[in-house]
Structure 1
Amino acid sequence: MSNELPAFDNPPPPFPDPPPYIPGTRNDADEVVQPVILVLAGHFVRAQTSDGSPLYELSRDICNSELGTSQLSQVSFNRIISNVRLTADGAPRVHNRHKHVSELKYLPPVLSTGFSYCLDAMSRHAMGNLALKTASFPRSGLKIVRIKPESGSSQSGSRALKESPKEVQDVFDVRKKRGHYEWIQSGEDRIAFEEEAEGLHKLIVTSPLKRKTIDALVGSWCLRIWHDSLEPPNKFSLGCELISLM
């Protein structure tokens, strides 16, 4: 009796590797994310793929804000993390959890002495607290800068504190070119550009980026869109000029 195993004319194909399991305690800030097209649809940021997987979630729709610019307003920004786990019968199951990355925050003049539109970090692995400002003359556009929170007593005599953040570093240059915004990582090449079609905002990320960088990029993109939905385009520039002269 032969001990050799029978040969197959057409051996079965190998099973594909399952998606990697990412434990909740792992620091993924330095994970590299490949270029991707992102679409803001309602309060979700989705990948422009066949299944349109949601990658980020906002606590509300920032394109149709009903709030004015006279009151404090915040929007939570969460990354959706998908983990693959096996059920009791061995079948793979996708489990989603939310990571609170940052808070989009608008501060009315009575509460702010500098930056009205901020992105407050909620994770110790984030790039830090960021803010939106206009670019210096003669280049038109915006900047995303890292800020260091400070506090000072309100001049009105109330008990409330005004936030007086100090700018410490440029993070992104946001330049308007041929009718759309281009995102440049400070001191480097373009990493993304925006498109708008059929009422949808798109961010085309053109370079591989670390996870903490793309979290900051997408959050800053949402902050820019939220700013434009709250007030006319020219109002922001005028406000910053007035602040700089005070």
Structure 2
Amino acid sequence: MEKPPSYGDSNDDRALPPATLYVAGRFVHSNDPHAPPLYELSHSVGFLSDNDRVVRLERLDHTVRQHHGAPQVSARTRHVYDLTHPTLATSPTFAYHAEATSRRSLCSFGIESFRARTLSSARWYRVHRAARGPDHQLVGREGLFTAVPARDAAVAFEWYDARGGLLARETDNDELLSLLVSAEMGPRERDALVAAWILRVWWEMARDGGLGKRWDDDAQQSGS
């Protein structure tokens, strides 16, 4: 009998293969129907608004062990980021940013929106590594990711690293919000990419007044 897969371990230096991730309520899943969720958020993504201030993002590390001859999945929760949308009264450097909450988190970072072309209405997003300055405000440093509107109608955004390498394609078919991660990366890098993805979606939803409470197939059950 084939052993069930191990869904995670404590080694943050391991390489994670390409995967398709999707949002369902407060959870981010892989496309493996038998695998438990990979991440948990404190808020249902489809209900995020401009009034929300902090969303907790946790990685769910799963390990399969044998217990009395039967496989048993255990989970360890790791709080990796606080996704933050401060009020304008605090004069934040970034309207949306991610605060690293673990020494194993890649870094804190902020996201900004801009138009790359004067006559285009399409918005690009740039993610910067950030650190606290003398006034305790987050100060942007070198680039981390860029989300570029895709030419392919089936793809909403393409995500690139600081060197211009393609990392993932983001899709939204009104029923399922997905991130097709095409690059191999470590857990810390994927944590940061997932956090940046959720920040971008939150910003868009807040700007457009909500997107119809989509991607929440478990929202009624959870009550979130």
TM-score by length of 2: 0.81
Partner of 1:192: 168
CA distance in 2 between counterparts of 1:218 and 1:175 reads 16
Partner of 2:69: 90
Note the 1:83-232 alignment, pairs <5 A.
83-87=63-67, 89-135=68-114, 137-138=116-117, 140-150=123-133, 152=135, 164-178=137-151, 179=153, 180-232=156-208
Alignment partner for residue 34 of structure 1, among 17, 22, 34?
17
CA distance in 2 between counterparts of 1:45 and 1:22 reads 15
Structure 1 residues 189, 68: closer, same or farther in 2, change over 3 A? closer
Structure 1 residues 113, 92: closer, same or farther in 2, change over 3 A? closer
1:55 aligns with 2:27: no
Which sections of structure 1, spanning at least 5 residues, go unmatched?
Answer: 1-14, 153-162, 234-246
Alignment partner for residue 2 of structure 2, among 13, 16, 34?
16
CA distance in 1 between counterparts of 2:23 and 2:8 reads 25
CA distance in 1 between counterparts of 2:160 and 2:43 reads 27
Partner of 2:212: none
Q: How far does residue 50 in structure 1 lie from its aligned partner after superposition?
A: 2.8
Which sections of structure 2, spanning at least 5 residues, go unmatched?
Answer: 210-224
SS at structure 1 position matched to 2:130: strand
CA-to-partner distance for each residue in 1:129-175, whole Å, 9 max, x for gaps?
Answer: 011112474495011111111353xxxxxxxxxx5221111000110
With 72-81 and 130-139 compared, the bigger mean Cα shift is at: 130-139
Structure 1 residues 22, 61: closer, same or farther in 2, change over 3 A? closer
Q: How far does residue 232 in structure 1 lie from its aligned partner after superposition?
A: 3.0
Q: How far does residue 51 in structure 1 lie from its aligned partner after superposition?
A: 2.6
SS at structure 1 position matched to 2:88: coil
CA distance in 2 between counterparts of 1:176 and 1:21 reads 32
2:116 and 2:124 in contact (8 A); partners too = no
2:97 and 2:110 in contact (8 A); partners too = yes
Coordinate RMSD, CA, aligned: 2.3
TM-score by length of 1: 0.74
Q: How far does residue 122 in structure 1 lie from its aligned partner after superposition?
A: 1.1
Structure 1 residues 21, 183: closer, same or farther in 2, change over 3 A? closer
Partner of 2:54: 74
Q: Relative CO higher for 1 or 2, CA cutoff 8 Å, sep ≥ 6? A: 2
CA distance in 1 between counterparts of 2:133 and 2:208 reads 28
Q: How far does residue 112 in structure 1 lie from its aligned partner after superposition?
A: 2.8
Q: How far does residue 128 in structure 1 lie from its aligned partner after superposition?
A: 0.7
Q: How far does residue 91 in structure 1 lie from its aligned partner after superposition?
A: 2.2
Identity of aligned residues (%): 26
1:63 and 1:225 in contact (8 A); partners too = no
Alignment partner for residue 29 of structure 2, among 46, 62, 66?
46
Partner of 1:237: none
CA-to-partner distance for each residue in 1:182-227, whole Å, 9 max, x for gaps?
Answer: 1001113211011112422110001111111111001110111111
2:86 and 2:92 in contact (8 A); partners too = no
SS at structure 1 position matched to 2:13: coil
